[in-house]
Amino acid sequence: MGPLSARLLIQRGRPKSDRLGKIRSLDLSGLKLHSEHLDPKLLSRLKQLQELDLSNNQLESLPANLGLSHLRILRCANNQLGDVTTFCQFPQLEELSLEGNPFLTVNDNLKVSFLLPKLRKVNGKDASSTSSQVENLNRELTSRVTAHWEKFMASLSPEEKAEKAQSDFVRSAVRDVRYGPESLSEFTQWRVQMISEELVASGGTQVHEANILERLPKATVTQESRASPVALKRPDDVPLNLSPKKRVCTSPLAHVEGSPVASDGGQPALKLEPLHFLQCHSKNNSPQDLETQLWACAFEPAWEEGHAGATSQTVATCGGEAVCVIDCQTGIVLHKYKTPGEEFFSVAWTSLTVVTQAGHKKRWSVLAAAGLRGQVRLLHVRAGFCCGVIRAHKRAIATLCFSPTHETHLFTASYDKRIILWDIGVPNHDYEFQASQLLTLDTTSTPLRVCPVASCPDAYLLAGCEGGCCCWDVRLDQPQKRRVCEVEFVFSEGSEVSGRRVDGLAFVNEDVVASKGNSLGTICLWSWSQTWVGRGSQSTVAVVVLARLQWSPTELAYFSLSTCPDKGIVLCGDEEGNVWIYDVRHILMQQPPLPAAPQAPTQILKWPQPRALSQTVTKTMVNTVVTNPTFTYLTALTDSNIVAIWKRH
């Protein structure tokens, strides 16, 4: 498609007229338009245009001077937009469609809400909750920038103020003023720069909260949208119909039992504050739904350009027909993906580097989700759509796991007693995945957990199964593409005990494995390297046990243990709503022989008292617990439809 012409605009405009100035609605969708094809001189002749459809093109941005000041409805779905700041030229805009622009994020949604004061709908949904969130962020950022200005100016001498305020303050504010979750940092820094520049221009006298709010719509408090978390009743009687903003937990620190092991001089017990209790997977968003079971959660990989040590506070959870992506600090559900008729059992993250049609490199966080239907859905979380479906198995998928060394390699484990290794590939210019099958691993019982061996993830895969713990050779340079279990691990003498279910499996470090389910009331720590060295040519090998951790004596199954290798932590929930926390660093450093008796937990995180939750939720089963790598946030899932989030202090 070349540049637009007046003839084309007249052909596609409504009502039919031979004058551009009479057109009120214009459809320019599906013309393969690039940004340079939008001629401002031509489009500015559309003096009465109120509705414009630019969807299904290849636009990376909109020119800043289109002159369409009366535009009320704009459709830009399915383009390649990467910037929304030029939308400020449409001050009368009431409805906006941006679906299918994979490089736009939740930060751009907030920018749009700030720039367009009359906006009522975004992507067909009510925009008031986003406007309310923007209003609160602006209020806090304005206050913080103003405080930073006062502190900054107080540090300067009179002769320095005029010169340095202009050159240094904005840079200082953008660097030092922080508020809100990391996932919204692009928006908050953008606003900090704007507020700072206004302060400098006015000499510190003209930027007030009222000035900011004049540019925003009067947001009304509404019932929760379907994608918003519904908080359970808190001790200070917070009502259930709050708009989806930060829910500050005023309950006391969670009661902790147990004491730190003092072999290394003792450590203070971890202080974990309950932040949020959400029912974001509820059927029809009903707070009365205490039956939807939640199955798995995973933290987004911490990746930030120029900040290798960045820590994620974004967690994905799955249960029922929904996958939710939650910011742990604020409790805001950033995204919600639903598939009617599905029941999601597992989620797993990976980060991909993709190249756009314009040759720009972009980093994507891709979330894989799977469950009852045997299909893997690949979700582009920031853009909020599914960009690929792998019909992986004919029966339900129990668990997913990405390779730690190959970002496109995904293991799927199914009730069809097979584990398949897929290469999901890198999406093409239409953001579509073309997955290919690399290996099929046969099991003799249902695989429940899969875990690449930490010291050699490209060579061996461990799986906890209904019938025990098994290992496969997954090297791709071997000719066989379908393989049987190479080794079965035995945890105790006697075949009756060795065949017990293993429903928890994770590496604590590069050598030590934590597993659960092979003996009641304990979690086993065993050495991969010592066990493997003693294998020889045997197909059944007794594990070299390093220690056992005392756990709940329950006979119930499917409590998924997890580890935080960076901190030497093992975690597991139980049937009473408790989270058992083990700091095992002292065990890993001890020389054998270790004590034969099971080691007590470092502490037990108790489920909050009934007054901190709904009175109907007095006891619940915590079946999954995960933390981010720095152990800053802890997320627990229950069988009664509650996502619980704690923060460590």
HEC states along 103-147? Answer: CCCHHHHHHHHHHCCCCCEECCEECHHHHHHHHHHHHHHHHHHHH
Terminal-to-terminal C-alpha distance of the chain: 58
User: 117 and 140: one domain?
Assistant: no
Q: Left if phi > 0, otherwise alpha if psi is -120 to 50, otherwise beta: which for 266?
A: left
362 within a domain of the structure (yes/no)? yes
Give me the amino acid identity at 521: G
Nearest partner of 548 among 603, 491, 624, 633, judged by Cα:
491
**Cα gap 171→153, rounded to integer Å:** 14
Angstrom distances, CA of residue 605 to CA of 210, 270, 571: 44, 10, 10
77 within a domain of the structure (yes/no)? yes
Last residue of a domain, one of 202, 225, 246: 202
**Cα gap 413→380, rounded to integer Å:** 22
User: 63 and 148: one domain?
Assistant: no
User: 452 and 350: one domain?
Assistant: yes
Give me the amino acid identity at 392: A
Reading across the β-sheet that carries 603-605, which strands appear in turn? 256-257, 603-605, 579-583, 569-573, 562-564
pLDDT number for residue 1: 57
242 within a domain of the structure (yes/no)? no
**Cα gap 454→451, rounded to integer Å:** 8
pLDDT number for residue 125: 86
Where do the H-state alpha helices sit in 379-476? none
Last residue of a domain, one of 123, 147, 177: 123
CB-based burial of residue 238 (10 Å sphere; 0-12 exposed, 13-18 middle, 19+ buried)? middle
SS3 8: helix
pLDDT number for residue 473: 95
185 within a domain of the structure (yes/no)? yes
User: 140 and 289: one domain?
Assistant: no
Angstrom distances, CA of residue 560 to CA of 33, 136, 296, 544, 556: 50, 38, 9, 22, 12
253 within a domain of the structure (yes/no)? no
Q: Are strands 633-638 and 622-627 parallel, antiparallel or unpaired?
A: antiparallel
Biggest alpha carbon distance in the chain?
93
- Looking at the structure of the chain, the number of domains it has is 3
CATH number at residue 346: 2.130.10.10
Chain-centre distance for alpha carbon 237: 29
Q: Angle at CA 30, nearest 5°, toward 24 and 36?
A: 80
Nearest partner of 334 among 118, 193, 180, judged by Cα:
180
SS3 351: strand
pLDDT number for residue 229: 32
pLDDT number for residue 231: 32
258 within a domain of the structure (yes/no)? no
Indicate the angle between helix axes 158-176 and 128-154, nearest 10 degrees: 140
User: 336 and 350: one domain?
Assistant: yes
User: 36 and 174: one domain?
Assistant: no
Last residue of a domain, one of 123, 143, 176: 123
Angstrom distances, CA of residue 356 to CA of 170, 407, 453: 32, 18, 34
Chain-centre distance for alpha carbon 54: 30
User: 151 and 115: one domain?
Assistant: no
User: 198 and 277: one domain?
Assistant: no
pLDDT number for residue 205: 63
Which residues are 273's β-sheet partners?
647
CATH number at residue 52: 3.80.10.10
**Cα gap 646→649, rounded to integer Å:** 10
> In this structure, what DSSP letter does residue 560 have?
B
521 within a domain of the structure (yes/no)? yes
**Cα gap 35→124, rounded to integer Å:** 24
SS3 12: helix
The length of the chain is 649
User: 325 and 379: one domain?
Assistant: yes
Q: If the chain, 649 residues long, is cut into consecutive pieces of 10 residues, what is the mean pLDDT of each piece?
A: 82 89 92 90 92 93 88 93 91 92 85 92 86 84 86 73 66 84 81 87 58 34 30 29 28 37 49 89 83 93 53 89 91 88 94 75 87 93 81 95 95 96 86 90 95 96 94 94 93 56 94 89 93 87 92 90 94 93 88 78 80 55 92 92 90
pLDDT number for residue 284: 80
SS3 354: strand
User: 135 and 280: one domain?
Assistant: no
Question: Domain containing 293: what range?
Answer: 272-648
223 within a domain of the structure (yes/no)? no
Give me the amino acid identity at 140: E
Q: Which three-class secondary structure string do you get for 168-197? A: HHHHHHHHHCCCCCHHHHHHHHHHHHHHHH
User: 95 and 156: one domain?
Assistant: no
User: 314 and 442: one domain?
Assistant: yes
pLDDT number for residue 23: 93
Q: Left if phi > 0, otherwise alpha if psi is -120 to 50, otherwise beta: which for 233?
A: beta
pTM over 0.85: no
CB-based burial of residue 291 (10 Å sphere; 0-12 exposed, 13-18 middle, 19+ buried)? exposed
